Structure 1
Amino acid sequence: MKSPRRPPATPPQTQAAAARVPAEDTAAAEHTAAAPEPTASAEDSWRAAPPDSGRPRYSSGRTSRRTRMGAGLVEVPRVPYRDPATAVLADPRVPESKRVCGRCHEPVGRSASGREGEPEGVCPRCGSAFSFRPRLAPGELVAGQYEVLGCLAHGGYGWIYLARDHNVSDRWVVLKGLLDANDPDAMTAALAERRFLAEVEHPNIVRIYNFVQHADQASGTTTGYIVMEYVGGESIRDLRCPPDGRGAPLPLEQAIAYVLEVLPALGYLHDLGLLYCDFKPDNVIQTDEAVKLIDMGAVRRMDDHHSPVYGTIGYQAPEVPRKGPSVSSDLYTVGRTLAVLTFDFDGYTGRFADRLPARSDVPVLTRFESFDRLLRRATHADPARRFHSAEEMADQLTGVLREVLAIEDGQPRPAPSTAFSPERRVFGVDAEAAADAGPDPAVVAAALPVPQVDPADPAAGWLATAATADSAELVEALRTAPLVTVEVRLRLVRALIERGEAPTALVELDDMAVTEPADWRLAWYRGVAELAAGRPAAARDCFERVYDLRPGEPAVKLALAASAECAGDNTTACTYFDRVWRTDHNYVSAAFGLARSLRRVEDRAGAVEVLRGVPDTSRHHVAAQVAAIRARTVGRDPAELSADELAETCGWLQQLDLDHGQQARLAVEVLTAALNWVHAGRPGDVDGESEALLGCRLTERDLRLGLERGYRALARHAETPEERIALVDRANAVRPRTWF
């Protein structure tokens, strides 16, 4: 159904921001089917005096003191608490450009024929009375309790007043009244706000203290006022576009941190059966070290299909005017808010009112693909393809934040996944011996993480006890399970894949797709099955679909990287392996995979750096160091090596705790690279470094003697006579010539 339009009203301090909207977007904002974009929400502007008020302004919060937000991952500038008295408007007026009839939404009170518009009068179109004058005067006592100090702002429902509560320690409060007491839609919204907010108590939502009636001395009418907590700070809209006009997108991690602070508040409302409906940057305030959700005027019950629907063009989901709001439409507004905060989103109220720009046109989206995919899921045209809950969105957004921070500063931000197990084993370790080697796709499929079992599934307990070493017995047990649930069927699919029966697993997935089309795990297991069957390109398509739905999961990017590597796309493999490894060093497969892919694109230095970075707490640390030594030396063009690199590599080798056979094998590889280096005409022995290369100087004679010792050491550890003879022959062939 169509939503009634909120009478737009812009407080003076927001006019500079409004002036920057392109003309076509401003026109679009004035003619939305659901609601025009109010340039200020009812509470959003009591935080600051306008530039021309003559009152002192507090700092914007960009001080040396910072606080942590966004799961404790981000330091954001602290916004100091603002003295309420400094926020009172010296001359409260509604600009003529924002004067609109509360009933028919036509312009009223505007200048004409050289005459200034009157703030009070009658709408020439519908005959409704209008007044943009404050109803309450400084010093007036409301309900015998609240002493008015003055106006703070003018919002969608009328004037916002600052008052003292003489009954409760003279605390500061805010009185929110109606623009027009004769407007039934505005009255309905106010009454709805009073009813719903009595149930709401959350640290990130503005508190509602009371609802009072007050008789207007001039008109004789009685007006209702909501009494709410005073929140002194700045909206994230003002942090994004401050009144001085020097606006710029917020740092991505800061914007994400703000949203992560308020998503639990939205989830809390949803759990109460309430919809917020009008989330936007104006309605989120940072004060001191906290973030609060304000302007609850558009809140409604989920089962309310009759009350007017309020929203803001550019943020409101496209289906709301026809189908009404929902949890998915609330989360849509969160996605739009993130977009507005993080890049110059010209046209977000016009040509891009129902879609995002192309990723290639926005640098922050180009750089951070996971963030781009999160935004596109949150704002998908199909409500069923958006996030299903605030908790799910917060979980994925936190994963995206960890990746963003890791890319920005190079420091990993590991965290357990709520959706996936850890990787079951590290794949591709043995493939490091050769630059062109890659893991077997079936081995990769068996090593990838698996989706977590839903603990609410009726068969979750049974599945925890159904494990068996015999794969055939497990398949049979799953086929005859006492309860055939989604989790049982998915476990059967996994068991079939592990038995090498990928075609049968795909048939089972096809059957499940009929009854569980929205379950992202079907696409995941389909990708695993395709990979196990040796079809990495088909697997990659499946994992791409999962990435769209779970953009914060390193496991998904690991699967994408592995399938790209198996398909021969080393550039893509490098990209995704790198994202996983930067974010979480627990995914050691990503380090080995990244090193392999870098070697194939001729970046040996990068491969060595990655392998050297595998922490010594990992049981694959030694294997990674061995791989680093081989990446630097085996098959290397001698012209690319230096004496210092050779010496450093030998130092790495001597520090490793290897058995004699492994030590000898690596020593032979390193000394062979050194001998090739000498043959290529590189500088010979360096004074003071005669012991740098495993006791050998950088001369052909010394290196040949060292290789002879290495081959003879390998011969002593040979497993067969034939192998031993071959190694002795090599030792004899490499030894330097002598005349006696």
Structure 2
Amino acid sequence: MKCMQPGCSGQIVDGYCDVCGMAAGTSLSVSAPSTSSASAAAGASVGTPAAASASPAGASVGTSAGASVGTSVGTVPDGTPCRQPGCSGKIDAGYCDVCGTPAAQEEVASLAPVGGSARTGSGGSGPTQPGSEPAGVGPELSTRSAASSNLASTALGSKRARQGGSVATRRTSGSQRLRAARLGGGITTVRPAPTIDASKALLTDPTVPENKRFCPKCGEPVGRGRDGKPGRTTGFCAKCRQPFSFDPKLKAGDLVAGQYEVAGCLAHGGLGWIYLARDKNVSDRWVVLKGLLNSADPDALAAAIAEQRFLAQVSHPNIVEIYNFVTHDDAGYIVMEYVGGTSLKSILKQRMQAAGRYDPLPVDQAIAYLLEILPAFQYLHDLGLVFCDFKPDNIIQVGDEVKLIDLGGVRRADDEDSAIFGTVGYQAPEVAELGVSVASDIYTIGRTLVVLTMEFRGYQTTYLNTLPPQDSVPVFQKYDAFYRLVAKACAPNRDDRFVSADELRSQMVGVLREVVALDQGAGAASTTVSSLLFDVPTPGTEPDDWRNLPALRRDPHDPQTGWLSTVTGSPTERLAVLERAAARTTEVLLDIARTALDSGKRDVAESTATELLAADPWEWRAVWIQGLAALERGDSKAAQAAFNAVYGQVPGELAPKLALAQASEQAGDDAVAENLYTACARTDSTYVPMAAFGLARIRAARRDVDGAVGAYRLVPPQSSAFRTARAGLAELLARANRGLPDLAEALRTLEDTSLSARRKAELTTLIYREALAKVEKSGTKTDLLLGEHKTTPTGLRLGLEESLRELARRTPELDERVPLVDEANTIRPWSLW
């Protein structure tokens, strides 16, 4: 069955079109159909300028209230003279071959279906993505989800600003501490991509398919065939009369600017064909020519080239190099480096063809690609430039390196006049109103990550400006931190996103480590992960104490950080000094809050955290303090909400996960807690003890003794918490009521624990009592030894007698000691001597 969508050549397969992805029987009216953004095999792809910016003299595309105006062209025989006054043209395929006016035009208004028309975006390009799905599709979970994102979360950022009646926007000056250097690989591996020979990348038949022909100005379909006749490749748009041409302007052998000899076409983009050429002045090296502007006005062309010359100053190893700007036959071209690699879009297509189904990249591979490209984004942002049109087409893998390609959409962040380039499904929702920014680039990076790692049905329609619910996406369910990462990168309010590419990268590294750790399966982490934001946890004799959670690291850029390191003494003494600080900077206030908690003044800590949040609604460290205060007062739900909010802000950090796990455990959300403890234990060796203790508590509570035993055994012998873990294991096995082997192991474990001598004697007594009761009840005879005693009634009575006398010696109170001695005398086996 053929798809009924206008201009779509697809077929209905399993209820959906295999080209546009629309459900069978649905109809979609579009106010300004999106234009295709083709990927260049040579490493260049071009977006389409935003309609609002590209339209001259304030021309607008589409109509309000979801209505769109189309043009219906009557059937006028070819060769009929054009009716426009003074025009000598004739009608050819329904249009004048001189002025482009449609024959017998009749404008008909068509309203979009209820629910709104499909959005083309404020700079959108590209047809509807295959696989888009109607709203409401997705499994409903009948069981409670273990995803932490379903928990309540303390208001942070724009939500908190709105609650306080503020219209404050995010301050970005404090992001320097997260400007991370390139960390390199070592976490995961990505298979190298072969270099593509330039001559083999040329198209043998450079044509643009009819379903990808759109007006470069208003986005209306053009060049479409009718009545069995193929569509025109050159002509005029029926709606806005803009000339169009899909024929290559350059052919093999043409010499551009007296220097670049054209070899052929590589791909077609929003500004025309992209060509491969040889630089005759520089050793015949391969270069790429991409159209910049087609104008008969030499002054306009010169101005456009001058405006783009700043791109020639861009120099970064992960960005394709711009060599030159030239003109040829009233057209301008950017001369770029040829990158003979494979785009991520092509890699996705190859995987799909090999698997016979949609086969997304593994999460660790997708993250690894973007980690390598993020320094290029930071470089551009530092220059005051915004990339604008990032997507899988625009990142190329060459060997074991990646490059950011297609700088055609790059513009200055403060440029309010130039056309904005973007692609539907990737472009940030605020671009039409607020323009592009670092935050809008961050958004495109997040959307690209999602497209690379899942079959993102409806990302250009149903989920145009949102993400699917976590519970409906397996990859989000499996990798909770990954979901939090892309959720923050794609936050609807741009002030809630990462403030820089370096901040995003620092958190992405942490998420990658966690993803790889989870993929490796059961076991504890063997490596330590450094953190810019938190110290390591400090497990103690009370493993669930909030004081054992990692402490915040001080920001070295705070002007009071040096002075804070000189403040010493008891918590009460330090608090008195801190409250007399010369300046109440953020770090001073954070120190006051934490020191107040340590000294038992919870009210001071909470009021200080509130003061911090009043000054900056995005200050998640203040919410961290609120979470600690909630744990101190026993309010596990409030603590859970606070740590959940912090986790959403720094998803690559383990400290919020550990704190959230502790709060969730206390709140009774064991499934959430166990997932978080597991992630911590597998990712960082310094988190293993506290995570293992938490796992053991949860599993023991549900009578999963083997699981609890496995958790305690995660703590390695070299850990300072090893003896504490052994004590917990001994207690567990002694009380498990499972059999003599467990009791024997519990007794052996007691020899290497941190327990006091009296507690060891108590547990030894318990073990012998349990063993004796089992043997006398069942009459079991084994060769097993319990300590130095055989597991016979006589042997176990001797062992119990010894443990009772040892316990009596360790008991100072006489009224408790005497009954123990009496019991020892009673339990002692009868003898003849």
Question: Scaled by the length of structure 2, what TM-score is found?
Answer: 0.75
* Kept in 2: contact 1:543–1:560 (CA 8 A): yes
CA distance, structure 2, for counterparts of residue 712 and residue 290 of structure 1: 71
CA deviation map 1:247-273 (0-9, x unaligned): 311111111111211122111111111
- Equivalent residue for 1:610, pick from 696, 700, 711: 711
Contact 2:723 2:752 in 1 (8 A): no
Match among 197, 200, 205 for residue 319 of structure 2: 205
Q: Is this contact kept in 2: 1:29–1:349, CA < 8 A? A: no
In the alignment, is residue 155 of structure 1 matched against residue 269 of structure 2?
yes
Looking at structure 2, the residues matched to 621 and 183 of structure 1 have their Cα atoms a distance apart, in angstroms, of 79
Deviation at 1:633, TM superposition (A): 2.4
Q: Which residue of 2 aligns with 1:23?
A: 22
* CA spacing shift, 1:592–1:32, aligned 2, 3 Å: farther
Tell me the distance in 1 between the aligned counterparts of 2:409 and 2:8.
16
1:385 equivalent in alignment to 2:496: yes
SS in 2 for 1:177: strand
Do structure 1's residue 695 and structure 2's residue 795 form an aligned pair? no
Asked if 1:420 is matched to 2:573, the reply is no
Shift of 1:559: 1.0
Please state if 1:506 is matched with 2:625. Answer: no
> C-alpha deviations, 1:584-640, integer Å up to 9, x for none?
221222221221121112112111111112112211112212221222222x23xx3
Tell me the residue number matched to 1:497: 597
SS of residue in 2 equivalent to 1:38: coil
Deviations 1:1-49 (A, max 9, x none): xxxxxxx999xxxxxx995441379x9999587x9363424566679xx
CA contact (8 A) 1:193 1:299 kept: no
**For residues 518 and 71 of structure 1, what CA distance do their matches in structure 2 show?**
31
3-state secondary structure, aligned to 1:162: strand
Alignment-derived partner of residue 446 in structure 1: 547
The match for 1:235 is 343
Is the Cα–Cα contact under 8 Å of residues 249 and 343 in structure 1 kept in the other structure? yes
Is 2:405 the counterpart of 1:308?
no
> Which residue is equivalent to 1:632?
733
Q: How far apart, in 2, do the equivalents of 1:730 and 1:233 lie?
A: 82
**2-structure distance, mates of 1:129, 1:474:** 75
Aligned equivalent of 2:330, options 187, 204, 222: 222
Q: Which residue matches 2:631?
A: 531
Which residue number in structure 1 is paired with residue 60 of structure 2? none
Equivalenced residues, count: 677
SS in 1 for 2:686: coil
Residue type matched to 1:712 in 2?
A: R
Distance 1:252 1:620 in 2: 33
Q: Residues 199, 459 of structure 1: CA spacing in aligned structure 2 closer, same or farther, 3 A cutoff?
A: same
Displacement of 1:491: 0.9
Alpha carbons of 1:602 and 1:480: their partners in 2 closer, same or farther (altered >3 Å)? same
Check whether the contact 1:196–1:299 (CA below 8 A) recurs between aligned residues. no
CA spacing shift, 1:572–1:109, aligned 2, 3 Å: closer
Aligned twin of 2:778 = 681
Deviation at 1:343, TM superposition (A): 1.3
Which residue number in structure 2 is paired with residue 324 of structure 1? Answer: 435
Cα distance between partner residues in 2 of 1:190 and 1:500: 66
CA shift for structure 1 position 317: 0.8
Corresponding residue of 1:63: none
Residues 19-98 of structure 1: pairs in structure 2 closer than 5 A: 19-23=18-22, 31=30, 36=34, 38-41=36-39, 71-98=185-212
Q: Distance in 1 between matches of 2:430 and 2:741?
A: 65
Over the aligned positions, Cα root-mean-square deviation in angstroms equals: 3.2
* 1:274 and 2:385 matched: yes
Q: Distance in 2 between matches of 1:471 and 1:391?
A: 35
Matched ranges for 1:250-399 at <5 A: 250-399=361-510
Structure 2 residue 675 is the aligned partner of structure 1 residue 561: no
Residue aligning to 1:599: 700
Structure 1 pair 516–122 and aligned structure 2 pair: CA distance change class (3 A): closer
Percent of aligned pairs with the same amino acid: 44
How far does the alpha carbon of each residue in 1:358-415 deviate from its partner, in whole angstroms, 9 at most, with x for none? 1111111122222222221111111111111111111222222222221211362541
Aligned residue among 454, 457, 461 for 2:558: 457
Structure of greater relative contact order (alpha carbons < 8 Å, 6+ residues apart): 2
User: Per the alignment, do residues 732 and 44 of structure 1 end up closer, same or farther by CA in structure 2, a change over 3 Å counting?
Assistant: farther
Q: 1:231 to 1:669 in 2, by over 3 A?
A: farther
- Structure-2 change in CA distance of 1:658 and 1:421 (3 Å): closer
* Residues 70, 37 of structure 1: alpha-carbon distance in 2 compared, 3 angstrom cutoff: farther
Q: Is the 8 A contact 1:28 1:349 kept in 2?
A: no
Residue in 2 that maps onto 1:101: 215
2:571 paired with 1:471? yes
* Change beyond 3 A, Cα 1:725–1:126: same
Q: Which runs of 5+ in 1 are unaligned?
A: 1-7, 11-16, 48-67, 215-220, 432-438
Q: Structure 2 CA distance, aligned partners of 1:629 and 1:118?
A: 83
Listed as ranges, the gaps of 5+ residues in structure 2 are 1-6, 10-15, 46-181
Deviation at 1:736, TM superposition (A): 2.9
Deviates more, 1:554-563 or 1:504-513: 504-513
| Distance across 1 between alignment mates of 2:519 and 2:303 | 44
